[in-house]
């Protein structure tokens, strides 16, 4: 096919092609499509495709035949124009209305071609950064011990009225406008005061065993049941049992329960663990800063279509996740207190930033010749299989899954690049 192409650069990732197909070739395409239609049409009294042309033409949609011919001609012309221009399209948008074509004229249309992303690296080695490791104090250790005590706390019967943080065995009958709400009612169930609907929790406070209360409250405006939102409800509460949390003492018994001899050894182990976590967190923050600097130093051009596609995928995933919990996108927006436009803008910004980071990391891997060996991929997949409790047959299937191998390869490659950034950086150590 012979085409005339005028190329105009729109930006780093998009090109406009003005394409023209000679009138003669367009007419030939229309004739070919007409011949195909005539061979398929059935005319009474004749075998398929054997009726005289003049008669058969009355049985075909000439306008639709013409449009199909023009559409196919445009597709062929676009393919040829891209080939002649040496482009590798990421996506494209063709501005063509077959109905506007006038017989006997050349076919002219415009195509906007999105090009693959392009990365030009700036400095990524020898970056000067500060690694800040938080100092673990006695107060930090004490807070961690208290957290452990909270986890190991036991519930014990309590005399007197209930309070915030207590647990009550109660029967709660909830109604709205006199109609019972079974899913908002419980019978002889344990409820922890402070972990439910705040307004209803207030009705559970201050009651002793055997006491009853009629209580009026309002459902939250973002309740998961749309029909209850901001509705006033009535609850009849009966308390059967009250218990309170009893924290274990910090003594030898607690230490032995946690695998050490005494409180001194327990505190030392907790300190050692917290210091290791602090160093790990410092490394993670350091690598995040190195990545931010490497991306900031680079110039990244990516087609907007790349961002749009990924945002659409993330939105679809979010909708599916919400549906599994019986929620809609509108419910989510109400809870997040944002508009759909605000959500789309945030997703687009997050997606753009994530794509830019990935592209820079992959380009650094190429420039620094950082690779991932198959043996490392196998080992990582086997580790994951072990964590997931897979048997040997399932593990072998996972090892042969190309999609899983690609995902693991990318993950390991990014890890290796981040380690490279850290190993080549000029790091100043500080203690917070």
CATH of the domain at 334: 1.10.3120.10
Q: What percent of the chain has pLDDT over 70?
A: 99
| 102, 191: one domain | no
Tell me the per-residue pLDDT of 71-93, one tens digit each, with 9 for 90 and over: 999 999 999 999 998 888 888 87
Supply the CATH number for residue 183's domain: 3.10.50.40
Residue 322 has what pLDDT?
93
CB 340 within 8 A of CB 275: no
Confidence of residue 381 (pLDDT cuts 50, 70, 90): very high
Average pLDDT over residues 248-254: 94
Record the tokens describing residue 296, joined without a space.
Answer: 């900031």
Confidence of residue 432 (pLDDT cuts 50, 70, 90): confident
**Is residue 395 one of the residues assigned to a domain?**
yes
Residue 124 has what pLDDT?
96
Average pLDDT over residues 241-267: 94
Tell me the per-residue pLDDT of 152-202, one tens digit each, with 9 for 90 and over: 999 999 999 999 999 999 999 999 999 998 888 999 999 999 888 777 888
- HSE-CB at 415 with a 13 A cutoff on CA atoms is 10
Residue 153 has what pLDDT?
92
| 206, 286: one domain | no
**Is residue 128 one of the residues assigned to a domain?**
no
Residue 60 has what pLDDT?
86
Residue 259 has what pLDDT?
93
Measured distance CA(33)–CA(35) in Å, rounded: 5
Among the candidates 196, 226, 246, a domain finishes at 246
**Which region among 24-38, 48-62, 175-189, 371-385 has the lowest average model confidence (pLDDT)?**
48-62
Average pLDDT over residues 246-261: 94
User: Does pLDDT of 100 surpass 80?
Assistant: no
Measured distance CA(168)–CA(388) in Å, rounded: 37
Residue 50 has what pLDDT?
83
Q: Which domain holds residue 33?
A: 4-115
Among the candidates 67, 94, 115, a domain finishes at 115
| 86, 219: one domain | no
Average pLDDT over residues 55-64: 85
Residue 4 has what pLDDT?
92
| 285, 426: one domain | yes
Tell me the per-residue pLDDT of 307-363, one tens digit each, with 9 for 90 and over: 999 999 999 999 999 999 999 999 999 989 999 999 999 999 999 999 999 999 999
User: Does pLDDT of 138 surpass 80?
Assistant: yes
**Is residue 139 one of the residues assigned to a domain?**
no
Confidence of residue 51 (pLDDT cuts 50, 70, 90): confident
| 302, 355: one domain | yes
| 231, 290: one domain | no
**Is residue 403 one of the residues assigned to a domain?**
yes
**Is residue 94 one of the residues assigned to a domain?**
yes
| 207, 300: one domain | no
| 179, 298: one domain | no
| 61, 180: one domain | no
| 373, 314: one domain | yes
| 84, 229: one domain | no
CB 68 within 8 A of CB 33: yes
Average pLDDT over residues 234-259: 94
Tell me the per-residue pLDDT of 281-306, one tens digit each, with 9 for 90 and over: 999 999 999 999 999 999 999 998 89
Report strand pairing: 212-218 vs 232-246: antiparallel
**Is residue 273 one of the residues assigned to a domain?**
no
Confidence of residue 224 (pLDDT cuts 50, 70, 90): confident
Average pLDDT over residues 27-37: 90
Confidence of residue 373 (pLDDT cuts 50, 70, 90): very high
**Is residue 260 one of the residues assigned to a domain?**
no
Residue 98 has what pLDDT?
64
| 239, 294: one domain | no
Question: What is the number of structural domains in the chain?
Answer: 3
Supply the CATH number for residue 111's domain: 3.30.70.1050
Residue 99 has what pLDDT?
62
User: What phi and psi, each to the nearest 5 degrees, are found at residue 390?
Assistant: -80, 150
Residue 96 has what pLDDT?
72
Confidence of residue 62 (pLDDT cuts 50, 70, 90): confident
**Is residue 359 one of the residues assigned to a domain?**
yes
């Amino acid at each position: 096919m012979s085409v005339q192409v005028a190329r105009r650069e729109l930006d780093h990732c998009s090109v406009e092609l003005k394409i023209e197909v000679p009138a003669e070739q367009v007419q030939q395409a229309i004739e070919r499509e007409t011949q195909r239609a005539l061979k398929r049409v059935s005319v009474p009294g004749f075998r398929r495709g054997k009726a005289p042309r003049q008669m058969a033409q009355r049985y075909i949609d000439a306008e639709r035949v013409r449009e199909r011919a023009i559409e196919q001609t445009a597709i062929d012309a676009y393919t040829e124009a891209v080939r002649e221009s040496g482009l590798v399209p990421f996506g494209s948008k063709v501005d063509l209305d077959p109905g506007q074509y006038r017989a006997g004229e050349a076919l002219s249309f415009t195509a906007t071609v999105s090009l693959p992303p392009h990365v030009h690296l700036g400095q990524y080695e020898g970056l000067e950064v500060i690694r800040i490791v938080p100092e673990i104090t006695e107060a930090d250790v004490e807070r961690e011990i208290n957290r452990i005590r909270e986890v190991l706390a036991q519930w014990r019967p309590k005399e007197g009225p209930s309070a915030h943080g207590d647990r009550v065995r109660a029967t709660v009958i909830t109604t709205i406008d006199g109609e019972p709400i079974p899913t908002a009612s419980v019978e002889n169930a344990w409820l922890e005061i402070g972990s439910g609907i705040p307004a209803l929790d207030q009705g559970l406070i201050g009651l002793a065993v055997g006491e009853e209360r009629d209580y009026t409250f309002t459902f939250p405006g973002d309740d998961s049941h749309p029909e209850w939102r901001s509705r006033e409800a009535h609850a009849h509460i009966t308390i059967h049992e009250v218990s309170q949390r009893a924290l274990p003492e910090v003594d030898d018994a607690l230490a032995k329960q946690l695998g050490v001899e005494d409180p001194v050894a327990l505190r030392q182990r907790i300190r050692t663990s917290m210091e290791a976590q602090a160093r790990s967190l410092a490394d993670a923050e350091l690598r995040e800063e190195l990545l931010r600097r490497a991306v900031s130093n680079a110039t990244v051009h990516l087609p907007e279509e790349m961002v749009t596609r990924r945002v659409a995928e993330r939105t679809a995933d979010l909708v599916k996740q919400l549906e599994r919990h019986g929620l809609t996108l509108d419910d989510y927006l109400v809870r997040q207190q944002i508009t759909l436009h605000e959500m789309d803008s945030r997703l687009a910004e997050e997606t753009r930033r994530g794509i830019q980071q990935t592209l820079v990391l992959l380009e650094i891997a190429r420039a620094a010749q950082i690779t991932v060996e198959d043996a490392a991929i196998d080992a990582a997949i086997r580790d994951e299989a072990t964590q997931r409790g897979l048997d040997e047959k399932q593990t072998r299937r996972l090892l042969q899954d190309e999609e899983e191998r690609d995902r693991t390869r990318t993950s390991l490659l990014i890890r290796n690049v981040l380690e490279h950034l850290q190993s080549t950086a000029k790091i100043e150590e500080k203690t917070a």
